[in-house]
Chain A
Amino acid sequence: MAAVLKADNIIKYFYQPEKFQVLKGISFDVQEGEFLSIVGKSGCGKSTLLYILSTMDTAYEGTLEIKGQKLTGLKQNELSKFRNEHLGFVFQFHYLLPEFTALKNVMLPALKLGKYSTDEIEHRAIEKLKLVDMDMYAKKSTSRLSGGQQQRVAIARALINDPAVIMGDEPTGNLDKVNSQNVFDIFRQLAADNNQTIITVTHDLDFANGTDRMVEMEDGHILGIHKPELKPNAQ
């Protein structure tokens, strides 16, 4: 298995309200098709790390490499293009565009990429919605969907361009048990079937225990990277 993401000695400072070192030299690799979770207490820097890995935060030291391409030092526009094509995001608060239908929300990143015709994109978007079991709500305005439904649409959106890496910032943080399990199952399936890499930051230990590897963080350091102690019950 090849490493799809390499982080090398990542250091990050916050300057507000005073200079403070959030990340103190983080280095780790993530393999292709791996389902990785990052856990730790609030304020340990795990979200900060995720935003650096996601290429949205560019003010850090160290180097980041995804799919063999060095991303540190690239311009915003190049990073946008890279994100569009190779990265997918799922946030804690679903963050769909409320003016658009579920289908359109899923289609937008693909329309931006412009690799396929509009008809083809619509077809693919419906397939992705099917994957998360939301295809019957395709034409509904996203503001009319429940939280769990919205999160599933958000996952479909993250998948539309078949990204190599999908990142989640507390993707189940706002969901009840049933919906959390749904999201987890979808991630599991993606890693297994499509060989897509999944990196999630989470508080939810049940969730983390189901992943392939856990990165445990404290005060800007990595405490340890290990397999979860408890394997979840086979489903």
Chain B
Amino acid sequence: MNWKLAFQIALTHLVTKKKQSLIAMLGVMFGISMFIIMISFMTGVNQFLEDMAMDNTPHLHIYKPIEIDQKKIVSLNKPQSKNDWYIVQHQRPKNELSKIKNGLTMAQQIENMPEVYGVAPQVSSQVFYNNGPVQIPGNILGIDVKKQEQLFSLEKKMDYGEVEGLLKGSDVVLMGKGLAEKMNVTVGDRVSVTTPQGGNFTLKVVGIFSFGITAMDESRCYATLSTVQKILGEDPSYITDLNIKLKDIQGAHAFTEKLKNRLKDVYIEDWETANASLLAGDKIRNILTIVVCTTLLTVAGFGIYNIMNMNIINKMKDIAILKATGFQGSDIVGIFLLQSIMIGLAGAILGLSVGFFFSYLLSITPFPAGQFLRLNTFPVNFNPLHYVEGVFFGFVTTLFAGYFPSKKASKVDPVQILRG
């Protein structure tokens, strides 16, 4: 088959029917540009929601649960037998600390494992924030400032002050925005906290953060590890949580199983278990995106199919002549297939530009999200992969939409047409 000749004929057909070719091309352009806008916007929203949740969610969370021992203490000296058995009603947990044994060493060991991106140790405790006579319940988290910053990009969430402020003084905290409003304090003010053990401390606010998640913003404060250890009256080895980020987020579950074999006496929770609902929402939104995009491309495909069909009906006589003068069925398929491919590619490339233009407009459009959400404009994801996909799917759709009419054209019986 002579592609060069087929291309020449196809191009001549397109150029002489400018209006028709243009309309067909616009059909593809709208399909592809809507595809780009939709997928950029929807994945942008998905990414935003995921980031909002995942930024401060560790992939793995290790802590020491306080559980009721299944073994009865009284049975330690005298094992239970057929004749001797014990009932202990309302057994209470042992008075033990929620401390991870050798927490810092464990953190170091985990950090050295190849799958791990980083480990941030943490001391957390519930406290009361004293606002005059009112006590507001909340919690205070002691963090390793450098590690926390590296893994959870806390700096991005700061409204006032900066995370580094924690290192510049003693007894200083970063306070959640909602909590600060309840307490009526700003940067530089002092707040009084009461620990569960009854200790009273005065801390200075050096920064205000907001995650966009009310439950966190209205109850949480960050301080250094040593500050929290001090107000709890504990030694510097006192660590309650290890937050781990992995290199590959999808490997969290497998890695958990691996760790469980090595670490006893602690509880390991991976993000998938902790965020099952978030994950489901994400999946549903992705499916929705795919459905909408497929529909758009199908509609564009049917547009091309129609126009190519019309085109072939108009060109019956030409096809008959070409066949009479020795063109084969495959040549005819080539001619009309090339036409739809040219329409498809031109439409797809135009569609990408238009799609990019409108996604850009969307990305700079102000979006009033309320003061808690950290969002000023619509979230749009400019992933080059989507543009490659757009061209690819545009190409494939037009290929299919053009193939069937072309096949029909190749089956035209020249005798019927030429005899009139």
Contacts and interface: CB of A to CB of B under 8 A. Distances in A.
A100 B12 contact: yes
B261 interface: no
B324 A112 contact: no
Contacts of B357: none
Contacts of B262: none
A77 B419 contact: no
Interface in B276-317: 317
A124 to B, nearest CB: 15
B372 interface: no
A83 B324 contact: yes
B16 A51 contact: no
A48 to B, nearest CB: 8
A35 interface: no
B414 interface: yes
A97 interface: yes
A57 B323 CA distance: 12
Contacts of B320: 95
Given A56-B414, A99-B12, A112 B419 contact: no
A85 B355 CA distance: 50
B73 interface: no
Contacts of A95: 317, 320-321, 418
Contact of B329 (A76, A97, A99, A169): A76
Given A56-B414, A56-B415, A97-B318, A112 B12 contact: no
Interface residues of B, number: 26
Contact of A91 (B327, B330, B331, B418): B418
Interface string A70-108: 000000110011011101010101011111100010001
A89 B16 CA distance: 26
Considering residues B12, B327, B330, B418, which has the most beta carbons from chain A within 10 angstroms of its beta carbon? B418
Q: In the complex, which range does the number of interface residues on chain A fall in?
A: 20 to 34
A169 B325 CA distance: 14
Q: Chain B: interface secondary structure? A: helix
A98 B16 CA distance: 10
A83 B12 contact: no
Nearest to B9: A108
Given A56-B414, A83-B324, A91-B418, A112 B5 contact: yes
Contacts of A111: 2, 5, 8
A80 B323 contact: yes
Contacts of B327: 80, 84, 112
A202 interface: no
Interface string A111-138: 1111000000000000000000000000
A109 B5 CA distance: 10
Given A51-B415, A56-B414, A95-B321, A112 B330 contact: no
9 contacts: A51-B415, A51-B418, A51-B419, A56-B323, A56-B415, A77-B330, A97-B318, A108-B322, A111-B5
Given A80-B326, A80-B327, A81-B328, 18 more contacts: A54-B324, A56-B414, A56-B415, A76-B329, A77-B329, A77-B330, A80-B323, A80-B329, A83-B326, A85-B326, A91-B418, A96-B321, A108-B5, A108-B9, A109-B326, A112-B2, A112-B5, A169-B418
Across chains A and B, which 5 residue pairs bring their CB atoms closest together, nearest first?
Answer: A84-B326, A99-B16, A109-B325, A80-B328, A83-B326
Interface of B: 2, 5, 8-9, 12-13, 16, 317-318, 320-331, 414-415, 418-420
